[in-house]
């Protein structure tokens, strides 16, 4: 059976799911030793599994002569994507967009690059 819901309702359902998933979990922020504007945020679920990572490379030149221009990269664990996709029956790219929106709003960061990480060993079965 299929239901039609608005985009706002869809976001609300997924946001509540993500808030519940990370409720009481640890959030780690690690500063980059080579540039004080660069850092990494790591979200673990309450059972200790790492599920989301965000890397921000602040503007500037690093010790290895690498130049960065203020880019935020988000890695989403495939378990999250697959669970939400099965739960609400939407395509993977839409799930990734909603998780990115949730993360951006929750942590007040910009996300420029998004990826599923680690890579799946086998294609997902829906």
Task: Report how far apart, in Å, the C-alpha atoms of 82 and of each of 40, 55, 92, 96 are.
Answer: 24, 22, 8, 10
Question: If you average pLDDT over each of 33-47, 49-63, 100-114, which comes out highest?
Answer: 100-114
Quickly count: other Cβ atoms within 10 Å of residue 27's Cβ: 12
For the cut 90, the answer to whether the pLDDT of residue 84 exceeds it is yes
The per-residue DSSP string of 44-77 comes to E-TTS-EEEEEEEE-SEE-TTS-EE--EEEEEE-
Average pLDDT of the residues of the chain: 88
pLDDT of residue 125: 64
Mean pLDDT of 58-79: 84
Q: Which residue carries 């993500």 as its tokens?
A: 18
- Taking the CA atoms of residue 67, residue 69, residue 74 and residue 75 in that order, the dihedral angle to the nearest 10 degrees is -20
> How distant is the alpha carbon of residue 34 from its chain centre?
24
């Amino acid at each position: 059976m299929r239901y039609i819901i608005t985009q706002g309702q869809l976001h609300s359902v997924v946001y509540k799911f993500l808030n519940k998933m990370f409720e009481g979990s640890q959030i780690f922020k690690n500063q980059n030793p080579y540039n004080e504007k660069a850092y990494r945020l790591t979200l673990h679920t309450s059972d200790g599994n790492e599920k989301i990572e965000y890397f921000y490379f602040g503007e500037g030149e690093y010790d290895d002569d690498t130049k960065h221009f203020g880019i935020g990269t988000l890695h989403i664990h495939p378990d999250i994507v697959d669970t939400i996709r099965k739960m609400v029956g939407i395509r993977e790219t839409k799930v990734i967009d909603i998780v990115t929106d949730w993360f951006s709003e929750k942590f007040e960061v910009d996300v420029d690059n998004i990826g599923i990480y680690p890579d799946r060993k086998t294609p997902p079965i829906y």
